[in-house]
Amino acid sequence: MLVLALLCLLSISSSVPLHDQITPRPGETCGYESCPKTEPGVLNVHIVPHTHDDVGWLKTVDQYYYGSRNNIQKAGVQYILDSVVKELWEDPKRRFIYVETAFFWKWWVRQSRRVKSKVHTLVRQGRLQFVGGAWSMNDEAAVHYQSTIDQFTWGLSKLNETFGYCGLPRVGWQIDPFGHSRELASLLSAMGYDGLFLGRIDYQDKRTRLRDKTMEMVWRGDDDLGKKSDIFTGALYNTYSPPAGFCFDVLCDDEPIVDDAGSPLYNVDNKMTLFLNYVKKQSQHYRTDNVIITMGGDFTYQDAAMWYTNLDKLIEYSNLKAAKDDLKIKLFYSTPNCYLKAIKDANPVLPTKQDDFFPYASDPTAYWTGYFTSRPTTKYFEREGNAYLQMVKQLQVLSNLERHNEFILNELKSAMGIMQHHDAITGTEKQHVAHDYERILSTAIDDALLVARQAFNKAAQGDSGKAPLFSYDRCHFNESRCHTSETSETFMVTVYNPLAWGVREAVKLPVTYGHYEVYAPNGDKIVTQLVEIPDEVKRIPNRRSEATHELVFIAHLHPLGVKSFYVKRVSTTKRAIANGSYLEWISGEGVRSDGYLDRLNQIADVKDLTNLGLDAIVDEGKEPLWEDANGTGAAFKGTMKKRETDDFKISFAYYPGCLGNNEVPANRSSGAYIFRPNSTKAIGLNVESVSEISGDLLSEVRTKIRGNVLSIKRVYKEFDFIEHEWLVGPISVDDGIGKEYVVKYQTDIINNGEFYTDSNGRQMLKRKLNARPQWNLTLTEPVPGNYYPVTNEIYIENGERFTVLTDRSQGGTSLVEGEVELMLHRRLLHDDAFGVGEALNETVLGSGLVVRGKHRILRSKDPVEIAKSVFQMHLPPVVFVSDASGLSYEQWMRLENCKKFVKTPMPDGLHLLTLEPWGDQILLRIENYKTGAEDSTIEIDLQGIFNGIHIKSVKETTLAANQWLDDYDKWTWNTEGDFYESFNKKYGSFEAVNKAVDGPDVREDEGLKIKLKAKEIRSFIADIEYTD
């Protein structure tokens, strides 16, 4: 049963009821009501004590929490919270904010009842306030919006169930991420945040904003959502550090305030003069009589008494001096929430922003664009983790599993929340920390698969309630490694589709050479193709696999559906005839009607084409797949099936990383954060050999390229995209030079220096070469200064469109007309001097890391087709393999091998973003992914979605599900300047673009029939009952 805290705040978890510790006592206030009163006509100086606690960076999460390995960094989060609570308790005027719920929760569950009671009091009185409140302070370049929403939901749920209304964060606090995304602004607005504060913005942007007094603005997060996505955004004056000379921490060397007039160390007058001059200078760059002074930094307040003793003096003596000198300045303890309220009360006219804050540069040679690609295997693993998390959350609900499973789900939620941290998915941590992140996520995935096994075994039993229990083993398909399929003569393949519409997926099973038969759930034998695993994959260090081939078949999957396939190895020496038979499809599983079963189990030959001397290899009825095999550069030509488009070529190159001592900007090295090549021209890599595979399911051209690169261009007969599989590494550094590998897709499109990249996997933003939308750019690093984050998608267009989808976050650009460039892998030998203290030099068994991935090439401009391809690339079907030794085909056929969890597919334009258990209820999020340019409002009946689940009622919440939507009152602001209907149309265009006109936000729902407008995500808590 859901319950409400004070002022109707939603209590997220029904497992912890509200109680007297949460409800403010008479005379107690929290939230904005607890803020100190500002004075008109004076400069109000908000002193904000805070700590910034990275959820892993130089030390692991646990090392940071417990204070271990202080030889690396003196940091112990448990001591920070212990010390702060003690000092806050000493004086009711003192304030403190905390951000990272992962650390707070780790500390909270270890506290005594007495300490918890004190903390409740501090929160009820507004003396301890939470800002941000997500599980970690997430990155904004490499993260996907689904994972961002999840980790905010998880962190905020803990605060809400523990502290109710008084624990509600009012502002976003993104003070350390290295650039800021427009999509996060939109998400925070939808979550009910009233404001957002940023620490890092580009040095040229900041210089312009300081001059023009535009450090605080109204940021529009999404054109289609309009004013609903607006959020106050403030750029902090000094990143998040205290003024120089005023860091009163055990980690700092600044002098304390000595107020003993008889001491030779007495410094009150000097200290107060310096400080008051500082705040006057800062105030000149802002539009109200309020300034925020951040008093803290990385892992500060381990001895909070040092801070508060000196801050008490700073406030007291500064106020005395200001009064004496008639400076009209007032200092007081405050929080970002209270500073924001003071800004709102001042009612300033604010500038607007409609783009984003990428890329970020801290000086002319320090463009923080390398981390868009750093540690590419970690970025891929995070995406796998999200696929597993969405699957097990869905299956827990759809299969009506036991409630105690939610403890397992919570472990994976926590692990994924940690992975969103701005030093985790970014790849900007020390190597031993990267290993620990992978350990945390791998353990959580392995544990959570218990839920999948329960669901799949329950589905296989069907109405009989009896069936063998299968293992549903997790495989490592990125290495073509799967112990069960490699060693079992008979095995079962189970495929789950986490999307709410039907998909087709090429399933690739690592096997040893032989003849295999695959049976669909209806018992029909289906078409397969045996494809040899490339030698480069077999040589991946530490692969530990006997597989020599991949057994490929196409699975047609129902929405939120699971299917099992029966595979057996057949003892035969008969070889299938090789190339090019036509297929006549007679069922959803692609079953042949001509009866030639030997053709259903094709073993494709590899043909060496290196020395043929042909400009192109063309099979009858097919388009050219490659050309210029012996030229300078790996150039492969391909034309999309069923598309009338120009050809495109693929080439590979690398940028040598700049080497320097980092003492001045001119000597900046390329490193984990910074991309700085020593030349504006990448060094091309030549082709060594070319081979071709052709079969009934797929054809591919494999090109081996110098520098340990393998490129495979693959065309499936059933799909309209081209798949480009790439393998890079180990990158050689024997010459003492670090290297950053890129792939280039070359087309005939004249894109005029314009290209588009996604913002956290959702909206697309126009980019212009050598330009920024809101300020004049001076660029000394033309390559890294034009790199942008690509979470899912990058495209160029001019009439025609060329789109590349990625399987992980990467850096991308278009430096040359008609070309898309993506960075794939980085191996560097020098640190860039931004704190990590070690080079980005990943190795396995003493050899450089090998990275394998995929891109998909699309030429369609159909928005629904593209969106569905993006979703499937991000949330592909999940494949498991189970040993079926001793299980005959006839026994397998008696199992329930096909399970449909939905009644009808989601209509085009809608996406089931979230389905997860919520106590004895469920959390349901539906997303409309269409844009306003289309017929975009869509209606859906929630009652008609799921099989076996009756939805009794729903109540809508804000995006993060921690407030009832009806109880959220969005703030509005006075603005100068205009918002436009489309930023992309306005940016760099001389054509007239309409100004945005926001109409009333009127709901037109009828019971469980809801309507979603363009780009809306709506969240509901639903009461349900199971009918099966």
Mean pLDDT of the chain: 91
Check whether 576 has a pLDDT greater than 60.
no
Q: What pLDDT band is residue 996 in, cutting at 50, 70 and 90?
A: confident
Q: Which of 11-15, 292-296, 936-940 has the highest mean pLDDT?
A: 292-296
Percent of the chain with pLDDT over 90: 86
Q: What pLDDT band is residue 3 in, cutting at 50, 70 and 90?
A: very low
Average pLDDT over residues 842-871: 96
Residue with more model confidence, 219 or 467: 219
pLDDT at 18: 45
pLDDT at 17: 44
Average pLDDT over residues 837-852: 96
pLDDT at 933: 72
Q: Which of 473-482, 803-812, 994-1003 has the lowest mean pLDDT?
A: 994-1003
DSSP H helical segments within 760-862, as ranges? none
Q: Which of 370-379, 514-523, 607-616, 844-853 has the lowest mean pLDDT?
A: 607-616
DSSP H helical segments within 507-551, as ranges? 535-538
Q: What pLDDT band is residue 897 in, cutting at 50, 70 and 90?
A: very high
> Comparing C-alpha atoms, which of 294, 335, 321 is closest to residue 122?
335
Helix (H) or strand (E) run with residue 951 in it: strand 949-957
pLDDT tens across 410-441, in order?
999 999 999 999 999 999 999 999 999 999 99
pLDDT at 991: 76
Residue with more model confidence, 315 or 620: 315
Residue 81 CB-half CA count within 13 A: 27
CA distance 181 to 222: 11
Please give the structure tokens belonging to residue 342: 């003071």
Check whether 601 has a pLDDT greater than 70.
no
pLDDT at 1002: 76
pLDDT tens across 167-188, in order?
999 999 999 999 999 999 999 9
What distances in angstroms separate CA 771 from CA 752, 767, 775, 965, one per listed residue? 13, 8, 8, 39
Q: What pLDDT band is residue 607 in, cutting at 50, 70 and 90?
A: low
Percent of the chain with pLDDT over 70: 90
pLDDT tens across 236-250, in order?
999 999 999 999 999
Please give the structure tokens belonging to residue 725: 């599989």
Check whether 995 has a pLDDT greater than 90.
no
pLDDT at 723: 97
DSSP H helical segments within 164-264, as ranges? 182-191, 203-212
Q: Is 611 exposed, middle or buried (0-12, 13-18, 19+ CB in 10 A)?
A: exposed
CA distance 356 to 774: 10
Check whether 392 has a pLDDT greater than 90.
yes
In the chain, what are the domains?
Answer: 6-363 (3.20.110.10), 377-599+877-900 (1.20.1270.50), 619-874 (2.70.98.30), 910-1026 (2.60.40.1360)
Residue with more model confidence, 774 or 1003: 774
CA distance 827 to 831: 11
pLDDT at 1001: 78
Q: What pLDDT band is residue 20 in, cutting at 50, 70 and 90?
A: confident
Q: Which of 82-86, 626-630, 697-701 has the lowest mean pLDDT?
A: 626-630
> Comparing C-alpha atoms, which of 615, 603, 424 is closest to residue 527?
603
CA distance 420 to 436: 14
What distances in angstroms separate CA 581 from CA 85, 513, 525, 592, 697, one per listed residue? 74, 22, 17, 11, 10
What distances in angstroms separate CA 707 from CA 41, 654, 841, 848, 1017, one per listed residue? 67, 9, 16, 12, 45
pLDDT at 959: 98
Check whether 305 has a pLDDT greater than 80.
yes
Instruction: Calculate the CA 119 to chain-centre distance.
Output: 32
Residue with more model confidence, 1006 or 16: 1006
pLDDT at 610: 61
Check whether 641 has a pLDDT greater than 60.
no
The answer to whether 491 and 485 have CB atoms below 8 angstroms apart is yes
Crossing angle, helix 145-163 and helix 406-419, to 10 degrees? 120
Told to judge if 249 belongs to the known catalytic residues of this protein, a careful annotator would answer no
Check whether 956 has a pLDDT greater than 70.
yes
Check whether 155 has a pLDDT greater than 90.
yes
pLDDT at 988: 83
Check whether 616 has a pLDDT greater than 80.
no
Check whether 480 has a pLDDT greater than 80.
yes
pLDDT at 252: 97
Strands in 819-827's sheet, in edge-to-edge order, are 683-684, 649-656, 739-746, 819-827, 810-813, 788-790
The answer to whether 257 and 317 have CB atoms below 8 angstroms apart is yes
Question: Per residue in 435-464, is it b (16+ CB within 10 Å) or e — as a string?
Answer: ebbbebbeebbebbbebbbbbbbbbbeeee
Q: Which of 267-271, 304-308, 583-587 has the lowest mean pLDDT?
A: 583-587
- In 3-state terms, what secondary structure has residue 41? coil
Only one residue has tokens 């003892």, namely 571
Check whether 598 has a pLDDT greater than 60.
no
Check whether 644 has a pLDDT greater than 80.
no
Check whether 627 has a pLDDT greater than 60.
no
pLDDT at 462: 80
Average pLDDT over residues 854-860: 97
pLDDT at 999: 74
Please give the structure tokens belonging to residue 546: 């006997």
Q: Which of 457-466, 810-819, 931-940 has the highest mean pLDDT?
A: 810-819
pLDDT tens across 908-942, in order?
999 999 999 999 999 999 999 999 877 789 999 99
* The one catalytic residue among 150, 176, 223, 832: 176
Q: Which residue type sits at 273? A: T
> Comparing C-alpha atoms, which of 909, 918, 921 is closest to residue 1016?
909
pLDDT at 198: 99
Residue 147 CB-half CA count within 13 A: 34
Q: Which residues pair with 503 in a beta bridge?
A: 557
CA distance 650 to 747: 9
pLDDT tens across 506-540, in order?
999 999 999 999 999 999 999 999 999 999 999 99
The answer to whether 91 and 308 have CB atoms below 8 angstroms apart is yes
pLDDT at 1005: 86
